[in-house]
Structure 1
Amino acid sequence: MRAILALVLTALPALAAAPELPLPGTPSLTEAQPLSTHRIATGPYAGGLPVEAVEGAVTRRIWQVEAPGATTLQILAPLRDALQAAGWQVVFECATRACGGFDFRFEIDVTPAPTMFVDLADYRYLAASKDAARLSMLVSTSGDLAYVQVTDVDPGAEVAAITKSASDPRPAALPAATGDIARDLRERGRAVLADLDFATGSTELAGDSYASLDALAAWMRANPETRVALVGHTDAEGSAEGNMAISRSRADSARAILTGPLGIAPARLETQGVGFFAPLAANDSPAGREANRRVEAVVISTE
């Protein structure tokens, strides 16, 4: 907790309307676009999300801060105070269930994990304005880490397009690659099986051999006490009901390979489908839709 309270103001690049905030060191991600649109939530989710879509120079910064024991309010409060001291006016603020819980989280624009992690049971959101500029802030925690995403829009500014990341040089709009399945399961409790490709509306895998499934099976053999949920996902084309069924079938396709050729006991694997409600990327491009059609492995039991 003292780490949060003792933070000092850090000078930040003059990108768009980026304010100075009491956060230490260099953001894990800094992304700026000379002209784009950011949707600012102006109220809680209630059958739909009220938003203000603001065009201009968009700057996003994400911090991952050591903050053992800190609550999301303890993290947000000094940041809110710093904004107000700099002349920003808070126009909307909410916490988890008051925001709209799951529905709110998946309606707003969030950089995918591991760069930005959002605990669906504990997060806070803030929207602020300063003259024509607008800003959104999202705060959550995972273990001893606090995650802070700040996105600001200045309609009158012009900046060079940049993307900088202390941990991953790829643009934030794209999901992280599969990487080390064992590491992701151990450190994050989940891993994207990114080499499982599905066409829009399809539940069929092209073959029965995939590096990610081999890696998952090897990890499960090395950790025989674990159980895993395979969670299927879709892009946003089609109905919610249809996509829920398709996403579950995609998870079933992966499970069939794991319990068949790869020899994992069926009792150790369950399948779920969440349709288009947990995207990794925006669904407004072919690349984004392809990234969202996926299966993830989630550790659900270690006993």
Structure 2
Amino acid sequence: MSPGRLAVLILTAAPAGAVELSMPLPAVQTFAEAQPLASHRVATGPMQGSALPVEVVEGSVTRRVHQLAAGQATTLQMLSPLRDALLADGWEAGFSCETRVCGGFDFRFALDVVPAPEMFVDLADFRYATFLRGEEWFTMIVSRSGAQGYVQTTHVGAPGSVEAVTKSSAAVVPPPGLAAVGEIGTALAATGRAVLDDLVFPTGSTELPEADYASLAALADFLRANPSATVALVGHTDAEGGAEGNMAISRRRADSARAILVDGYGIAPNRVETFGVGFFAPVARNDTEAGRSANRRVEVVVTSVPE
């Protein structure tokens, strides 16, 4: 399949048994779901500009997340024994990559990932791997935060062959190592992301009017309290206009917020990246003015945390 092509594969193989992987370190399963027929995006290569080459596969989809007592183990040390177990069970290795080779932020947010706090992906330290056996697919995302590891596995089998899944009753542990300062800091410490809801942009506008923005002041406080943490500012638009123009507008909105954070609050430039995702991640409907206004926003995402 040529890079960048979007394909839909319907799995017709005989129902396969559950894929049971033993985690290489002490672990607790914090999320599990099984659907008799659903779709799952499988990356077949790294980001190519703003596009991710994928195959969209359909069948029974079983997704699990484990949190591991990783200690000093690297993401490769966590992934390697899982990969070896799959290969020994007859799976063939497909595409795999790590962090910036994958495409960093853009790659991670193009995938089907369970949201925090169950699954946390450190955008400065993660690995991705795919496997194929007959017409079954298996994907893994492995990341870590401080001494805690995160592993998301997704198995796509024949339609209707739903695996029995159970979710652990243990409490979900949020990414460690962050001081929760203020409302935004609390959200970032718990889930890794927050909306900067007082940054208001008219349709088509990329500049923030001169004002005091409480959300940026709070974000600056959070970054000062967590001097090793880095973040990404992610711009969004409503659905007015074309995709290419909105991608550029959303990036410039994030750039406007970053300029205030750096120039107005003295945050080091290398601690704040900017990205734009256009109208591809709405939080409200785009057929009302209230919905469009909500979609024109900037979010902050934690990209790395201190050990």
Does the Cα contact within 8 Å between 2:70 and 2:147 map onto a contact in 1? yes
Q: AA paired with 2:45?
A: G
1:75-126: per-residue Cα shift (whole Å, max 9, x none)?
A: 1111112212333222222233443444433332223333322233332211
Residues 1:191 and 1:42: Cα distance change in structure 2 (over 3 Å): closer
Residue of structure 2 equivalent to 1:295:
299
1:20 aligns with 2:24: no
The residue that corresponds to 2:75 in the other structure is 72
Q: CA deviation at 1:35?
A: 1.6
- The residue number in structure 2 matching 1:266 is 264
What is the CA-CA distance between 1:27 and the residue it aligns to?
Answer: 1.5
Q: Could you tell me which of 236, 243, 247 is aligned with 1:243?
A: 247
**Aligned partners of 1:100, 1:299: CA distance in 2, in Å?**
13
* 1:246–1:275 contact (8 Å) kept in structure 2: yes
Which shows bigger deviation, 232-241 or 81-90? Answer: 232-241
What is the percentage of aligned positions where both structures have the same residue?
42
Q: 1:37 to 1:116 in 2, by over 3 A?
A: same
Summarize the Cα distance change of 1:64–1:198 in structure 2 as closer, same or farther, 3 Å threshold: farther
* Alignment equivalent of 1:42, drawn from 41, 44, 69: 44
1:276 and 2:274 aligned: no
Aligned partner (choices 29, 32, 43) of residue 31 of structure 2:
29
Q: 1:100 to 1:247 in 2, by over 3 A?
A: closer
2:232–2:275 Cα contact (<8 Å) kept: no
**Aligned residue among 120, 127, 130 for 1:127:** 130
Q: Which residue of 2 aligns with 1:143?
A: 146
Distance 1:228 1:79 in 2: 29
One-letter code aligned to 2:19: P
CA deviation vs aligned residue, 1:189-248 (integer Å, no higher than 9, x gap): 95403655878767799xx999x849938956x969999978242158544454343454
Is the contact between residue 250 and residue 277 of structure 2 (CA under 8 Å) also seen in structure 1? no
Check the 8 A contact 2:32/2:166 in 1, yes or no.
yes
The structural deviation recorded for 1:38 is 0.6
1:145–1:295: structure 2 CA closer, same or farther, 3 Å change rule?
same
Which runs of structure 2 are paired with 1:40-119 in the superposition (5 Å)?
40-47=42-49, 48-119=51-122
Deviation at residue 36 of structure 1 after TM alignment:
1.2
**Shift, 1:43, TM fit:** 2.8
Q: Residue 20 of structure 2 aligns to which amino acid in structure 1?
A: E
For normalisation by structure 2, the TM-score amounts to: 0.63
Which one is further off, 49-58 or 137-146?
49-58
In structure 2, stretches of 5+ residues that fail to align are 1-14, 173-181
**Alignment TM-score, normalising by the size of structure 1:** 0.63
* Helix, strand or coil at the partner of 1:49: coil
CA distance in 2: counterparts of 1:299 and 1:44, whole angstroms = 19
8 Å CA contact 1:32, 1:159 repeated in 2: yes
Could you list the runs of 5+ residues in structure 1 that have no partner in the other structure?
A: 1-14, 169-178, 259-264
CA RMSD of aligned residues (A): 5.0
**How many matched pairs?**
266
Question: What is the distance in 2 between the residues matched to 1:53 and 1:32?
Answer: 17
1:62 CA displacement: 1.1
Q: CA deviation at 1:26?
A: 3.7
Alignment deviations for residues 47-90 of structure 1 (CA, whole Å, 9 cap, x no partner): 44332211111111111211111111111111112212333222
Contact 1:54 1:155 in 2 (8 A): no
Secondary structure (helix, strand or coil) at the match of 1:128 reads: strand
Alignment of 1:138-287 (within 5 A): 138-159=141-162, 180-185=183-188, 187=189, 191-193=193-195, 195=197, 213=215, 216=218, 231-234=233-236, 237=239, 238-240=242-244, 242-249=246-253, 252=256, 266-268=264-266, 273-276=274-277, 286=285
Contact 1:37–1:54 (8 Å) recurs in 2: yes
Q: Quick check: 1:39–1:52 contact (8 Å CA) kept in 2? A: yes
How far apart, CA to CA, are the structure 1 residues paired with 2:248 and 2:265?
A: 23
Instruction: Work out whether residues 200 and 293 of structure 1, in 8 Å CA contact, stay in contact via their aligned partners in 2.
Output: no
CA distance in 2: counterparts of 1:227 and 1:21, whole angstroms: 32
- Quote the residue 1:4 is aligned against: none
The code of the aligned residue for 1:243 comes to M
AA aligned to 1:49 is L
Distance 2:273 2:93 in 1: 39
Answer yes or no: is the 8 Å Cα contact 2:120–2:192 preserved in 1: no
1:229 and 1:105 map into 2 onto residues whose CA distance is 15
Q: Structure 1 pair 215/164, CA: closer, same or farther in 2 (3 Å)?
A: farther
